[in-house]
Amino acid sequence: MPLTCRGRVRGLEPSRGDVDDALGKFSLTLIDTLDTLVLLNKTTEFEEAVRRVLTDVRLDNDIVVSVFETNIRVLGGLLGGHSMAVMLKDAGHHMQWYQDELLHMAKDVGLRLLPAFNTSSGLPYPRVNLKHGIRGPESRTGTETDTCTACAGTIILEFAALSRFTGDPVFEVHARRALDFLWEKRQRNSNLVGTTINIHSGEWVRRDSGVGAGIDSYYEYLLKAYILLGDDLFLQRFNIHYASIMKYISQPPLLLDVHIHKPLLPARTWMDSLLAFFPGLQVLKGDIRPAIETHEMLYQVTKKHNFLPEAFTTDFRVHWAQHPLRPEFAESTYFLYKATKDPYYLEVGRTVLDNLNRFARVPCGFAAMKDVRTGSHEDRMDSFFLAEMFKYLFLLFAEEEDLTFNVEDYIFTTEAHLLPLSLSTAPHTPSPPANTTEELDDSNFDWTCPNTRLLFPDPAFPRNLRDPIRSAVDKSCPRPAVSAVAAEDGMRFMQEMMELSSQQQKEQLPPRAVQIVSHPFFGRVVLTSGPAQFGTDLSKSITGVSVSSVCQFPINAAFVQGRIALLQRGQCMFAEKARHIMKAGAIGGIVIDDNEGSSSDTAPLFQMAGDGRNTDDVTLPLLFLFYKEGNILLEALKEYREVEVLLSDKARDRDKDRTVSFQHMDSFVGFQPILGTILDSVKISKWPVFQGSVVNQNSGPVATTVLALVEVGDGKHPV
């Protein structure tokens, strides 16, 4: 208790409800920070702390504690301390007296937690009495019916490590059984899990799904269990979950909860701070780009409020104002720096450190923020602050000579306790294979992590991802150092996020088709495209008139006249793009996503929203192609001199439609922005189906390529 300068003892202070479930009169902070002392090279203090644990800590207290918190903080803390003690003893300088005492205590804790797993499903009760277990009137627990997914699914690392350290398989068996049950109860269509589950029936009590509170470390432990234990089953399950997360929950840079049965329907319009761990997990997965984007959003929110609020809205206002000194953002910062070596993340870490010292440091420690808006404190410093925050900030700034051992030989638990990877080779009883063969085809997933130097050969590339997000969250005038393009990108992002709720609540329109009908495709290539919630519906008639545009793009009006403009996503709202090209005389448009790697295979159908204004004035059709599909169209342009395409509500038989086509210029220059945009064009035929040939034009401030187009009559060849 850093404000009153004393320790919090369960029962002596007014109850804080569930927050106190982590306290069990077992010197929580002391145990939770053992391996932190070793990492900070405080070996003398570590040795003293271990002796203090052995002499002072009692585990047979008649007190009800959280199974989840006791597992990750106490059991994990003892196992992390044991790992460090063995490492120091083997090095020959410290802990020579140590005879696995911490491991014996860890097994005692494990045995006290085991009664919680005595359910028909294998899912543990959320609470257990350290002395009396679950059954009986003395336990004062065991009547609960529900637990959170993370509570039941964040056991495997500690329990498997305990089994392999001690040779007793019972702990790993129970942890695997709980994970198997959660996997079997996932929603089979979306492959997502809910937040709260009935431990007896397996029915989902809360069907919202995200990567934050209630679920977070379930996903984390699937991937880390594969890393620690080497069992492919965990990676396969994680990959299947991850694909669904990226398809439904991830809306870069946001991570928004959805309903497991209707994953296209948002479950809430705010995010909680616990999801800040997810970019770090994406680094372990090897998916760096979305990690950079989400982390940058979190960083800008942090700078806006000095700390990450416990919850914040999609337009980055405070939803819950407290900040209990959570370490997840620092964790992701560390992992991103390790992966990219981008010094930017050292600046991020310095910001975190400065804010802690400026706003949270008090005479007896660091005080949690009661309200980030006012800077008021709470007399609270949770053990995870010393167990995790200190570790990740130290590791972020540490040089190689600052570390007395190689942290790459260890995995970090969700509480940042260090478990040796050598446990994968420790003798253990293999678990029977789960009956999940039909679901575990993950042939589409890579089994190796990418080299970030190959991902980002241009050092400026990560910055290009971050700049638009910085502008969006800031919502102020762009700083002089920020480019105009980045500022426009940021404004576009902000506007789109503000429209997200209304967009998803509107009627779900069916996808549209972009069909390549010329040689050698002959209509066999059909690209799934997203519709717009405004403008001409390709399945209906054209109505409305053109109005002036307010989105300023350099455009050759004479060239666009009577054609479809091919546009790169960015710079302004979709409706403004439509107004702009309509003013220039275009009769249609295709927007290609600039998010590299996006695809209709993995992302839900994207519907382009309006801009909050009346869009009845938009009278041309606008379609959206994800990056993968758009690149197919661009590659076709690059390889063939002429490409005929068909825009429609569904693919057509080519022989039924007449086309006009035009030569494609030789000097295709790639999909690179010139003055913030690219404008290609598609010649449109006079028939109701929008059909014609795509040609490429590259306009710049210095030189303009002029392409002469000659329309020919029906049945003749292009000139």
Positions marked catalytic: 69, 216, 310, 328
Give the pairing of strands 64-66 and 127-129. antiparallel
CA–CA separation, 52 and 515 (whole Å): 73
Count other C-beta atoms under 10 Å from residue 188's C-beta: 10
Nearest to 218, CA basis, from 247, 197, 203: 197
Return d(Cα 692, Cα 643) in angstroms, integer: 8
Beta bridge partners of 152: none
Pairing of the two strands 588-592 and 563-568 = parallel
Considering just the CA atoms, what is the radius of gyration of the chain in Å? 29
Whole-angstrom distance, CA of residue 290 vs CA of residue 84: 34
Has 147 been labeled as part of a binding site?
no
What phi, psi does 104 have (nearest 5°)? -65, -40
Phi, psi for 377 (deg, rounded to 5): -105, 160
Distance CA 658, CA 308 (A): 58
Dihedral (CA of 439, 440, 444, 448) sign: positive
Would you call 632 helix, strand, or coil by DSSP?
helix
How many alpha carbons fall within 13 Å on the CB side of residue 618?
A: 25
CA 597, distance to chain mean position in Å, is 15
DSSP state of 3: T
DSSP assignment of 498-561: HTHHHHHHS--PPPEEEEE-STTTTT-EEEEEB-BSSS--TTS----------S-----HHHHT
Q: What is the distance between the alpha carbons of residues 190 and 188, in angstroms, rounded to a whole number? A: 6
Pick left, alpha or beta for residue 544 (phi over 0 → left; psi -120 to 50 → alpha; otherwise beta): left
DSSP 651-709: ---GGGS-----PPPS----S--BTTB-EEEEE--SSSSEEEEEE---B-SS-B-----
Judge residue 463's burial from the number of C-beta atoms within 10 Å of its C-beta, 0-12 exposed, 13-18 middle, 19 or more buried: middle
Distance CA 323, CA 44 (A): 33
Contact between 24 and 61 under an 8 Å Cβ cutoff? The reply is: yes
- Main-chain phi, psi angles of 320, to 5 degrees: -120, 125
Q: Which helix (H) or strand (E) holds 258?
A: strand 258-259
Residue with tokens 């309200």: 371
Distance CA 63, CA 139 (A): 8
Do residues 27 and 57 make contact, with C-beta atoms less than 8 angstroms apart? yes
What is the torsion angle, in degrees rounded to the nearest 10, for the CA atoms of residue 160, residue 164, residue 168 and residue 173? 30
User: Do residues 53 and 31 touch, judged by C-beta distance below 8 A?
Assistant: yes
d(CA 105, CA 545): 78
- Is residue 500 within 8 Å of residue 251, measured between CB atoms? yes
Helices 288-305 and 461-474: crossing angle in degrees, nearest 10, is 40
* 106 contacts 75 by C-beta, under 8 angstroms: yes
Beta bridge partners, 276, equal none
* Other beta carbons less than 10 A from residue 64's beta carbon: 19
Residue 306's CB is within 10 A of a number of other CB atoms, namely 20
Q: How long is the chain?
A: 719
Question: Is beta strand 368-371 parallel, antiparallel or unpaired with respect to 376-378?
Answer: antiparallel
Annotated binding residues for Ca(2+), written as ranges, equal 414
Q: From the annotation, which residues make up the binding site?
A: 414
